[in-house]
Amino acid sequence: MNDYKEYVCDLLYRMTINTDEEGREVKNSKEQVSWKAMREAERLDHSSLISVTAEMVRESQDAETRKNACFLLSQLAKNTGNMVAVRIMLDEFLLTTDMRTKSSMLGFFTYVPKIPDAEPFLALSKSQNNDIRQKAIQVLARCQPEHVKERLLELIRNSKNDCDKIYTIRTLSELRMGELLSEVLGHIISTNAKVRSLVIRFAGDFGNAAHIPLFIEALKNDRSTEVKYHAMKAIDRLGELTHIDTVLKRVKAIISRKQRGGGVFPKSELMYGISFLYRVASDHDEVKKLLYSLQTSKSDRLFEHEAEWLAQLVEKR
């Protein structure tokens, strides 16, 4: 036990050092002792460390140490599933009055597998402070669905804040509340592209063939590439032969010029489009011509992982 305590004390100390190991100021945060200590903390998976860390939370007079100890507990809860760690975090959270510390601790709760008491977070999801409110909405994803459904429904129906809507839709998705799809779909007319993309993503995850016109419309007319990405992913899952022309047109638009950046992993919009075309119409003349060009004259339009994926797809046939 003394070895565990010594280790936890040392780790908590290293989490406060914002220089490198030689005490030098560094521009790259990844070279800081604190950054490395945080990454080490994220890998903790020994339940025996929980009681020692809990002791630090209860006995330390330093607020920063108690906060960092709660971070350790959040990682231990994530990696071991031990609810004792979560209950200790809850106790400390309820005692904390400093809002900056409370905000940090809210972030820690997003790591834990589940939270037994939703009430503190339901209350904070009504806070006038945007940061506190939105972090609390994210934490609701770790609570029992039946305990938070009413509040999430209130948010998705009444909130005027785009960030609130974003975090609410994400939370609904994490809790697998597909029964609220009709409420989420009401935000497809949002002027915020991120909101629209999450609506399309939610509909793709929980909708059915009846929602294909929504995905086709988004693929054709929405200017957001993120919206188009989720629309194409949904079409790959639900689309039929009659949607070939729309997908072909979008795929051709993507490969009309060399793509920038490093591509989307593990699967890009282009890959979802090709996957759909290959699934429903691999013998279609236009599709065969497209696939051939991507393996020959237009192979430079693909990122390396896309080219490897396409080669494997064609090889399977």
User: Residue 62 maps to which CATH number?
Assistant: 1.25.40
User: Number of structural domains, the chain?
Assistant: 2
- Answer yes or no: is 278 within a domain: yes
* Per-residue model confidence (pLDDT) at position 173: 99
What percentage of the chain has pLDDT greater than the value 90?
93
Average pLDDT score over the chain: 95
Asked which of 116, 147, 166 is the last residue of a domain, the reply is: 116
For the stretch 62-108, pLDDT in tens is 999 999 999 999 999 999 999 999 999 999 999 999 999 999 999 99
Q: What is the pLDDT of residues 86-99, one digit of tens each?
A: 999 999 999 999 99
Give the best-scoring range by mean pLDDT among 27-31, 139-143, 261-265: 139-143
Residue 22 belongs to some domain of the structure: yes
CA distance 130 to 57: 27
In a domain, residue 279? The reply is yes
Q: 3-class SS at 22?
A: coil
Q: Is residue 220 in a domain?
A: yes
Residue 131: inside a domain, yes or no? no
**8 and 110 together in one domain:** yes
Give me the sign of the Cα torsion angle 83, 89, 91, 93: negative
Q: Is the dihedral of CA 36, 38, 43, 46 positive or negative?
A: positive
Q: Please tell me the predicted confidence (pLDDT) of residue 258.
A: 87
| Domain extent for 95 | 1-116
Q: What is the pLDDT of residue 1?
A: 59
Taking the alpha carbons of 294, 299, 303, 308 in that order, is the dihedral positive or negative? positive
pLDDT of residue 221: 97
pTM of the complete model? 0.92
- Asked if 228 contacts 218 with a C-beta cutoff of 8 angstroms, the reply is yes
Residue 296, both tokens = 């020959």
Per the domain annotation, does 151 fall within a domain? no
Predicted pLDDT at 167:
99
pLDDT in tens, 220-238: 999 999 999 999 999 999 9
Name the domain boundary from 59, 87, 116: 116
Of 93, 116, 139, the residue that ends a domain is: 116
Under a CB-based contact definition with an 8 Å cutoff, are residues 120 and 93 in contact? Answer: yes
What average pLDDT does the segment 165-188 reach?
98
- Dihedral sign of CA atoms 107, 110, 112, 116 in order: positive
213 lies in the same domain as 112 = no
Domain presence at residue 254: yes
Answer yes or no: is pLDDT of 176 > 80: yes
